Structure 1
Amino acid sequence: MDESLSIVRSTTIEGSPGAARGQWSSKLGFVLAAAGSAVGLGNIWKFPYITGTNGGGLFVLVYLLCVGLVGIPILAAEVLVGRAGQRSAVGTFRGLSRPRSPWVALGGLSVLIPTLILSYYSVVAGWCLDYVVAAATGGIGGAGVEGLPGLFDGLYASAERNLLWHAVFMAITAAIVIGGVQGGVERASRFLMPALFVMLLALLVQSAMLPGFVEGARFVFAPDPSKLTAAGVLEALGHAFFTLSVGMGAMLTYGSYLSDGESIPGAAISIGVLDTLVALGACLVIFPLTFSFGMEPAAGPGLVFKILPVAFAQMPFGGLWATVFFVLLFFAALTSAISLLEVPTSYAIDEWGLSRRTATLGACALILALGIPSALSGGEGFFGAGLAAATGRNWFDWFDHAATNWMLPVSGLGLSTFVAWRLSEELRQPAFAAGTRFGKQARIYRVWLLLLRYLAPVGIVAVFLQGIGVI
């Protein structure tokens, strides 16, 4: 442990548990787990379809700039807070401010957000499992293409299938988290992330053989200013912020298991690069498929579940490639879900003194119950068509709207403000520098702090105002 940081922490944080807390076995374990948290459905499902609806090329370039200038600095800040606090979100903000400080509420919000998000995220992950089964059993591939777009409509409306897959996915996630930091989360990440990259690479090789590969690659990387609007710029900024899992307590919790000998800026850059590579790789798989088979790249949220099965069905060995793709999508969902469940689990362990098994099962049961209305949102009942007719959104959409457009921006703004303005320089600078081997460490620190103090808050506020419809 870096001695200067240890001394500063011991005089700043009362009751820090220090070495008694679980830790990653290595920097690689942390990076794989944190990259797994960042790499999720947002990379393989959402990023390709928002790229398609915003015209490709220039949108991707703006997104990359936003990741580097806003996303990674906030990610580093969240990991820094977690490592400095050495506790779950509530205990960290209590220890780094004071017991009755308003900042403790930010820690509470950081526990609430992943709990709510996972309740409906697991329903979407259940769709991935359903499509894995469909692809592996011949439902996608050699079959006729006419009825394939309707597969998703039937799944979305089926309460029984949604509830079943919601429960199965949460059981898998809980089984991993029960294993602990090294034995569960890290071990799973060391398998899931390399497997994810191998599957993505295999799909990329297959995609490169399609007649539409060049056109798809040009769509992704060739800037066309006429296709990008101001709203598209804000969407790129918003996705750059949310894709790295910042603002939801996951990176804070993972950071609390990180030793002082590891470099926070180096880890943040590694995570950002891996996350971006997966997002771009997904685009280079999906868009050549759409162009090769005469489909619309601006198909929106239905691109993966409605359009791609039609393309796979027209390919040689389409069932095999569809199975690989949806297993890839499931793995991405699982790595993110593990980090989301770890947040309330860590909170219950630290704040209530529960065993990891009890804390995990309790958090899982709560999330299962909260997810039932989301699983029923595609039907004609109250949570679905009834609520949509009365309010304009079903339960699933309301939860997603509240978490994405209200809670996450507030949490992200609070986090960046706390680190940039509330955290003392005596703790912040050593915490940032610990384990760093950059030759120009002081300059990197000053640039990071400037971005965190001025650019990041402006970007988050802009995303928030767009999300609630003000701009």
Structure 2
Amino acid sequence: MQRERLGSRLGFILLSAGCAIGVGNVWKFPWMVGQYGGGAFVLFYVIFLLILGLPIMTMEFAVGRASQKSPVRAYQVLEKPGSRWHIHGYLAMIGNYLLMMFYTTVCGWMLHYFYLTAAGRFVGATTEQVGAAFGEMLSRPGVMAGCMIAVVVIGFLINSFGLQGGLERVTKVMMIALLAIMVVLAVNSIRTPGSSEGLRFYLIPDFSRMAETGVANVVVGAMNQAFFTLSLGIGAMAIFGSYIGKGRALMGEAVNVAVLDTFVAFTAGLIIFPACFA
């Protein structure tokens, strides 16, 4: 059976970026910026994206395109006789399963919060009441399991329509909607009175603050975030690399994905820090 291909280059970029973009961008990245001193963390994060993230993503794309297989089968096809690279293929498969368990659970939380918001549960609520809603949800395993199962069913339903008809079509709509919503929220946050202090904290490196946090802590945290945000090391990008045509430069495609991924993380900071300081 002929292997299905993606319908467009835009579909590939949005699908690959959609794999990389997640809570690591809109949730973890701003939290780490706040914990590790603001602009100095952002600076080292960008440095590690350039010197580590892009080359490693390019290599993962190369493994996928050369093998045209899953991460497990890719090493079996490409490795020299007697080598043990195939072991990483099994570790990558385990990593992807663990990642799916994590994300389907968190997506279930988001689904429940969407319901609570739509039902008006947070209208006029205090910070303490909003925080208590999370604890209440965690105390109800039936609700969490139901939401997680709903996320899994929706995912399987989308994939049942195929690569182009399901996954690519839905990803294009959802990713473009995400980018548009984040830009609107960022503009609104920046225009909030008193937001300038938050912008300075976020965009201007303060190395004295970095020293207070611990230089090694900031550097290691930035490096870890650069790997996490691009979904590197578990073969996820090798899967998308298997759909890159021979006429495309792997480094160029890696740059496109990394830029879109970084744009979302950076915009999340523009949403959160000006609003918090305001």
Match of 1:247 among 233, 239, 250: 233
- Residues 160-208 of structure 1 show CA distances to partners (whole Å, capped at 9, x for unaligned) of 1211111111111121222222222211221111011011011112212
In 2, Cα distance between the equivalents of 1:40 and 1:144? 27
The aligned amino acid for 2:263 is: L
The aligned amino acid for 2:194 is: G
Matched, 1:160 2:150: no
In 1, Cα distance between the equivalents of 2:153 and 2:115? 17
Match of 2:222 among 236, 243, 255: 236
Aligned to 1:50: 32
Q: Is the 8 A contact 1:23 1:259 kept in 2?
A: no
Q: Is the 8 A contact 2:190 2:275 kept in 1?
A: no
Match of 1:65 among 47, 67, 87: 47
Offset of 1:99 from its aligned partner? 6.7
Q: Is the 8 A contact 2:64 2:242 kept in 1?
A: yes
Larger RCO (alpha carbons 8 Å, 6+ apart): 2
The aligned amino acid for 2:98 is: L
Q: SS state of the match for residue 211, structure 1?
A: coil
Offset of 1:111 from its aligned partner? 1.3
Aligned to 2:256: 270
> Structure 1 length normalisation: TM-score?
0.56
> Structure 2 length normalisation: TM-score?
0.94
Aligned 1:107-118 pairs, distance under 5 A:
107-118=89-100
The aligned amino acid for 2:226 is: A
Matched, 1:23 2:5: yes
Q: Is the 8 A contact 1:94 1:100 kept in 2?
A: no
Match of 2:180 among 189, 192, 198: 198
- Residues 274-311 of structure 1 show CA distances to partners (whole Å, capped at 9, x for unaligned) of 1111001001111122112xxxxxxxxxxxxxxxxxxx
In 1, Cα distance between the equivalents of 2:138 and 2:235? 29
Q: Is the 8 A contact 1:78 1:251 kept in 2?
A: yes
Offset of 1:100 from its aligned partner? 6.3
- When residues 185 and 226 of structure 1 are mapped into structure 2, their CA distance, relative to the original with a 3 A threshold, is same
Question: Gaps (5+ residues) in structure 2?
Answer: none
Matched, 1:258 2:240: no
In 1, Cα distance between the equivalents of 2:26 and 2:169? 23
Aligned to 1:416: none
Offset of 1:22 from its aligned partner? 2.0
- When residues 212 and 129 of structure 1 are mapped into structure 2, their CA distance, relative to the original with a 3 A threshold, is farther
- When residues 107 and 194 of structure 1 are mapped into structure 2, their CA distance, relative to the original with a 3 A threshold, is same
Aligned to 1:375: none
Offset of 1:213 from its aligned partner? 2.1
Match of 2:206 among 203, 220, 224: 224
In 2, Cα distance between the equivalents of 1:105 and 1:289? 46
In 1, Cα distance between the equivalents of 2:81 and 2:160? 29
In 2, Cα distance between the equivalents of 1:260 and 1:33? 18
Aligned to 1:290: 276
Match of 2:78 among 96, 100, 107: 96
Offset of 1:26 from its aligned partner? 2.2
The aligned amino acid for 1:264 is: L
In 1, Cα distance between the equivalents of 2:197 and 2:183? 19
In 1, Cα distance between the equivalents of 2:274 and 2:119? 25
Q: Is the 8 A contact 2:18 2:175 kept in 1?
A: yes
Q: Is the 8 A contact 1:51 1:60 kept in 2?
A: yes
Offset of 1:156 from its aligned partner? 2.1
In 2, Cα distance between the equivalents of 1:80 and 1:234? 27
- When residues 202 and 234 of structure 1 are mapped into structure 2, their CA distance, relative to the original with a 3 A threshold, is same
- Residues 143-168 of structure 1 show CA distances to partners (whole Å, capped at 9, x for unaligned) of 34442221111122221121111111
Q: SS state of the match for residue 122, structure 2?
A: coil
In 2, Cα distance between the equivalents of 1:141 and 1:153? 18
Q: Is the 8 A contact 1:82 1:89 kept in 2?
A: yes
Offset of 1:98 from its aligned partner? 4.6
Aligned to 1:40: 22
Q: Is the 8 A contact 1:216 1:288 kept in 2?
A: yes
The aligned amino acid for 1:241 is: F
In 1, Cα distance between the equivalents of 2:113 and 2:269? 19
Count of residue pairs the alignment pairs up: 274
- When residues 172 and 153 of structure 1 are mapped into structure 2, their CA distance, relative to the original with a 3 A threshold, is same
In 1, Cα distance between the equivalents of 2:232 and 2:156? 22
The aligned amino acid for 2:198 is: G
- Residues 347-369 of structure 1 show CA distances to partners (whole Å, capped at 9, x for unaligned) of xxxxxxxxxxxxxxxxxxxxxxx
